[in-house]
Amino acid sequence: MPHIVEVPCVQALAPSLLAGYDWALNPYRGCALDCLYCYAPDVVGIGRSTWGETVFVKRSIPTVLAKEVRKKRRGVVGISTVTDGYQPAEKRLEITRRCLEVLARARWPVSVLTKCPLVTRDLDLLTTIPAAEVGFSIATGDDRERRLWEASCPPIGARIEALRAVAGAGVRAYVFAGPLYPESQESSVRILARLSAEAGAAELIADSLHPRAGALERVLEATTPQPRREWHERGEALMLALEDECREVGLPFARAQNWKPRASSGNGGDDHLVAARAAEEQAPVLEQPREVARLAAPFAQAFPVDARLHEFD
């Protein structure tokens, strides 16, 4: 189990440059899932050698968020743009859930990306959020391949069942197949396409492996892939197989670099914002400070303070 360290939060919503998101929200810095290819250590400035050992928790982020949704421009909030907001610590701490409570009450659109079935715990909230969606990060349909690259992550079957539950609850669910492992077989990604379609995914977005320095060394040490010069070729072969199988099963497919927010009439191409605008007039105004205090209360005794560090983002 990783060491949990509490850090203060000075900003909950950070402007996002990612397609489809206006804001990024990351309740945790650090991630116990410790995927081989993870680039997040470089993004948040944590040493790669200690990644996975310590998870920094922004204890006050729901309180800060409750203030920010009153002041900032309403837009799509991407949850887990850097580290997984449903990693194991969330089961006990429920900080991502408290953030969702704030966003649901303020009726802000939300897009979650995760590898963890724990997100289904929050379907009661997600089903009340306009244009909510949940993406499941799944790179292969073969758990033997998954174990090598994402040893601490939930098995593929658990993620597919979680996707099924999300879609079944009426919340848009999609699969982010990335990064595709150069070692994967074409048959494995074809299975992924079929599993995704059968479970009710609305879309599959795929990306190749782009290891940064640090992650690259880990990948090379821990796997026995083809020589690196063949990675691009393998990635392209997997991408084509995935695209072909998606076509076979009628699942919309996009490469990550080409993906665009879903088109809709009259809003310049973003369903999230249509729904957000429609919801805006009904949005309740949080009563300050009583409402903020109520939302923050569960955190006061949630866990002891190990340390207080300066907020990174």
Rg (CA), the chain: 19
Q: Is residue 40 a contact point for ligand SF4 (CB under 6 A)?
A: yes
Q: Is residue 36 a contact point for ligand SF4 (CB under 6 A)?
A: no
Neighbour order of strands in the sheet with 28-29: 3-7, 54-58, 28-29
| Residue of 60, 83, 111, 188 interacting with ligand SF4 (CB under 6 A) | 83
C-alpha 160/C-alpha 115 separation (Å) is 10
CB of 29 to ligand SF4, least distance (A): 10
Query: Maximum CA pair distance of the chain?
Result: 60
Residue 45 makes CB contacts below 8 A (sequence gap 6+) with 312
Residue number with CB closer to ligand SF4 (22 or 84): 84
Q: Is residue 34 a contact point for ligand SF4 (CB under 6 A)?
A: yes
Residue number with CB closer to ligand SF4 (176 or 231): 176
Instruction: Kindly report the three-state secondary structure assignment for every residue of 232-301.
Output: HHHHHHHHHHHHHHHHHHCCCEEEHHHCCCCCCCCCCCCHHHHHHHHHHCCCCCCCCCHHHHHHHHHHHC
Q: Is residue 205 a contact point for ligand SF4 (CB under 6 A)?
A: no
Contact region for ligand SF4 (CB under 6 A) — 11-19, 29-37, 70-78, 191-199? 29-37
Q: Is residue 140 a contact point for ligand SF4 (CB under 6 A)?
A: no
CB of 33 to ligand SF4, least distance (A): 4
Q: Is residue 106 a contact point for ligand SF4 (CB under 6 A)?
A: no
| Residue of 31, 95, 239, 274 interacting with ligand SF4 (CB under 6 A) | 31
Question: Residue 154: which of 116, 184, 185 has the closest Cα?
Answer: 116
Residues that bind ligand SF4 (CB under 6 A): 31, 33-35, 38, 40, 83-84, 115
